[in-house]
Structure 1
Amino acid sequence: MTNVTTATNTTTAIAFEPIAVGDMELRNRVVMSPMTRNRAFGTVPTDDMATYYAQRAGAGLIITEGVQPSPVGQGYPDTPGLHSAAQIAAWRRVTDAVHGAGGTIVAQLMHTGRIGHPSTTQAVGAGALVPVAPSAVRADGQVFTPAGRADLVTPRALSEAEIAATIADFVTAARNAIAAGFDGVEVHGANGYLLHQFLAPNANQRSDRWGGSVENRIRFTIEVVDAVADAIGAGRTGLRISPANGLGDTVEPDHDIVYPMLVKELDGRGLAYLHLVEAGAPQLTPVLRAAWNGVLILNAADPDPLTHGARLQRLADGHADLLSFGRLFIANPDLVDRLATGAPLAVPDLSKAYGGDHRGYIDYPSLVAVAG
C-alpha cells in the first residue's frame, strides 16, 4: 500500500462538500465510476452485487456498471439488464441496500452495439442475436464470450424503424430503473459502444439523416438523451462521453468539432450532469467545460491509480464539479474516507476484476475492518 497526497488541506476540501446534481443531493463530490464486473449471472443482479454497491455507498454518487437496455444490447457475459421484471426486482435489492447505507445510485444504460457476439446472447436464452450498429462495419478486435475470446463479427446496420425502437428501449430501461429505485440514469455515450459508434465516422458510414455530417452523427445521442429525459426527468438524466479514446475501434479525426457541438446542443436542457472521460483528448476538457453550463463530472487522465488522490486539486482549480474514480473503488470500498484522511490506498487485483465469485469483489476490507 502507498500513501497519497492528503485531501485535508483547504484547497481540496471542496471534494468532501455536498452538491446538488440535478434532482439529487450528494453528500460529497467523489463519484464511483461505472465498471463492468461480470457478476450478474444470467443478466440478473445478485445478492453479492447488492453487497458490493452498498459497501461503496460512501461515494457521493455511485454509477453502476453498464446495464443493457435490451437483449441485443448485451456485449459481454454476465452483465445485468433492465428489460425484464426479474431484473427490476433484483436491482431493487441493490438500490435498497445502497439507500440503506446512505448512498445515491444511478444506473448506467449501456448498449454495446457492434461490440458483442451472438454466442453471448444465445447463452442467456435470448437467441444468437447478431450485434447491431449504425453501419455493417466490423470493429477490429476480439470480445469475451462464454466460450472465451472470439473475433468480433460484422454487425447488422440498424434500419430507421430499428433506430426508433432502440431509442424506445432506452426509454423503457430508464423507466425500469426508476421503478427499481434508482435515483437516475446515465446514458453511456462513450468507450466505443452504440452511441459512440454513431459519433465516429469509421463506424458510422450512413448516408441518411443519422450519418455523414457532424450534425447527423450527433443526432442519435441527442435523441436518446432527450427521450430518456422526457420519460424520467432531465434532472435524473446524465450522459457520459469519451472524445477520441479509441475504444471499440472508434476513430474520430474530427472529435474537436463533434464534441463541442454535441455539448453545446445539449447544454441548457437541464440534464443532471455531463460525465467526461478525459483520457482520449485531455486538451478538449477546458473547451467542453466552457461549453457546458451544468454539472460536470470528470474522469481525469491519470495512468497510475495510486496518484489519483492528486486529482482532487482539479476540483479546486475549477476543471470540474465532481471527480469519478474507477479502479480505486474496487479495492477501497471506503475510498472517500481514505482520500479525506490521506490513509493508505489498496491496489486492486485486476486478475479478479471480471467474473468469478466474491473474491476480488466484496472481500476488500475497509480501514475500520483492518483496524478491528
Structure 2
Amino acid sequence: MTMITHPLPLMEKYYADRGSVPGTLVISEATAISHIEEGQANNPGFVSDSQVKAWSKIIDAVHANGSFYFQQIWGMGRASDPGHLTERGLPYRSSSAVPMRGVGVTPTALTEDEILETIQNFVETAKRAIAAGADGVEIHSAHGYLLDQFLTSSVNQRTDKWGGSIENRSRLTLEVAKAVVKAIGAERVAIRFSPYAGFQGSEKTDSVELYTHLIAELKKMKFKFAYLSLVEATGDPGALVRGEKAINIGKTLDFILEVWDNYSPVMVAGGYQPESAARAVETHYKNWDVMVAFGRYFISNPDLVFRIQQGIPLAPYNRPTFYLQKQWEGYNDYPFSQEYLKAHPNAVHPMTE
C-alpha cells in the first residue's frame, strides 16, 4: 500500500504570507526525495506529479509576492516511523543497522545500489523542484536525518567506502552535492549542516575535523553554491523542541567560516530574535558574509520581515500547535500586525480562510 501525501491548499496561504515582503527568502519545510523517505504520516514529498503540481502552486504564490523560494530536500532514514513504512510495504533503512534510541526497530543498512539510487533521487527531486519554479534547493544534511546518519560515526558503522574514516563518512553528502550541482547549477544549490546538534543521535565526537574536511572538499569543487546553511549550538532541536539537555553550548561555527572564507554566503540559525540577529551580524560575524534565518518566529509572524524593518515586537508562538496536522490552527491563524494591514490595505487577513 502506498500513501502519497501532497501539500494542502492552506499551505499556499501560509507560504505566500511569509513571503509577503518582496525580497524575502522563503525556505520550505523538508520534503522527501522518494516515497520511501516520506517516513512519517503527513510528511510531504516532492516526487509524484500531484505533489509537484501542489508545490508549484505554493512556489507561484511566493513569487507573486516578489519573494524567493528554495525547496529543502532530504531523506529521513532511521528517523522515519518504522510502523508507517511497514504499513506501506516499504523498507526501514539507515547508513548502518544501528537503532535510534527509543525506537524498538533496527533499520537495515543501505546497499551500494540503494546508496547510488539515493544520490539519483536527490538529483531527480532537485530537477523537479526547479521545473516547478523553485529558485533553488537546500540539501538537508543535518539533525540526524539520512545524510547526517552517514556523517555520524556512532550511527555509521560501515566498513566499505561509505563508512569508517571521515573521508568515507563524508562521501555521500559530497556526492549528492556534486550530482545536484551538475543537474541544476551551483547557484541554485545550498547545503545545511548542524555540527553541534545531538538531535536523533546526531552528536559527533569529531565535529571540527569532520566539518573542516566537508567544507574544504566543497570548496575544492569550485562551485559557487547559493549559500551554506549552518545551525549553531543554540539551535539544537533536541533542546529547543524536546526539552533535552543542551550540548556544546559556547562552541562556535568560526572554524567553518574561516575555512569557507566568504566563498559564498552563509546562513546561520540558532534561536535568534531581531536584536540578537542584528548584533551577531554586526559583531561576531562582521568579517563574514552572513545572514540569519528565522524559524519558530516566522510561524507566529507572517509579516516577520516587515515587523523587523519597522521595529514592531514579534508575536509569541504557541508551541503546542506547531505540529497539528491538516489544521488552520497554529498555522494560518496568526495575524499580521495592525501596522502591516494599515500599510497594505489590500492584504487578506490570515484569520479569514
Q: Compute the TM-score of the two structures, normalised by the length of structure 1.
A: 0.81
What is the one-letter code of the residue matched to 1:332?
A: N
1:276 maps to which of 226, 230, 248: 230
What is the one-letter code of the residue matched to 1:297?
A: M
2:266 maps to which of 281, 284, 296: 296
* Cα offsets for 1:205-233 (capped at 9, x unmatched): 00111111111110110001111111111
How far, CA to CA, are the matches of 2:161 and 2:98 in structure 1?
Answer: 18
In structure 1, the gaps of 5 or more residues are 1-40, 142-150
Structure 2 counterpart SS, 1:140: coil
| Equivalent pair of 1:201/1:251 in contact (CA under 8 Å) | no
* Cα offsets for 1:34-86 (capped at 9, x unmatched): xxxxxxx9520111111000000036211100100011112322121111111
What is the one-letter code of the residue matched to 2:313?
A: P
| Equivalent pair of 1:117/1:152 in contact (CA under 8 Å) | no
Identity of aligned residues (%): 39
Once the two structures are TM-superposed, the CA of residue 309 in structure 1 deviates from its matched residue by: 3.2
| Equivalent pair of 1:314/1:320 in contact (CA under 8 Å) | no
2:24 equivalent to 1:60: yes
What is the one-letter code of the residue matched to 2:96?
A: S
2:43 equivalent to 1:47: no
2:311 equivalent to 1:342: yes
| Equivalent pair of 1:191/1:246 in contact (CA under 8 Å) | yes
Structure 1 counterpart SS, 2:28: strand
How far, CA to CA, are the matches of 1:172 and 1:290 in structure 2?
Answer: 33
What is the one-letter code of the residue matched to 1:328?
A: Y
In structure 2, the gaps of 5 or more residues are 237-247, 346-353
Q: Find the counterpart in structure 2 of residue 325 from structure 1.
A: 294
Q: Find the counterpart in structure 1 of residue 321 from structure 2.
A: 352
Once the two structures are TM-superposed, the CA of residue 314 in structure 1 deviates from its matched residue by: 1.8
RMSD: 1.8
How far, CA to CA, are the matches of 2:289 and 2:84 in structure 1?
Answer: 38
For these two proteins, the number of residue pairs brought into alignment is 316
Structure 1 counterpart SS, 2:293: strand
What is the one-letter code of the residue matched to 1:367?
A: S
Change (3 A) 1:122 1:132: closer
How far, CA to CA, are the matches of 2:9 and 2:278 in structure 1?
Answer: 33
How far, CA to CA, are the matches of 1:326 and 1:265 in structure 2?
Answer: 29
How far, CA to CA, are the matches of 1:100 and 1:370 in structure 2?
Answer: 18
| Equivalent pair of 1:113/1:193 in contact (CA under 8 Å) | yes
Once the two structures are TM-superposed, the CA of residue 266 in structure 1 deviates from its matched residue by: 0.4
| Equivalent pair of 1:82/1:173 in contact (CA under 8 Å) | yes
| Equivalent pair of 1:71/1:121 in contact (CA under 8 Å) | no
Structure 2 counterpart SS, 1:65: coil
2:277 equivalent to 1:311: yes
Structure 2 counterpart SS, 1:187: strand
Once the two structures are TM-superposed, the CA of residue 323 in structure 1 deviates from its matched residue by: 0.6
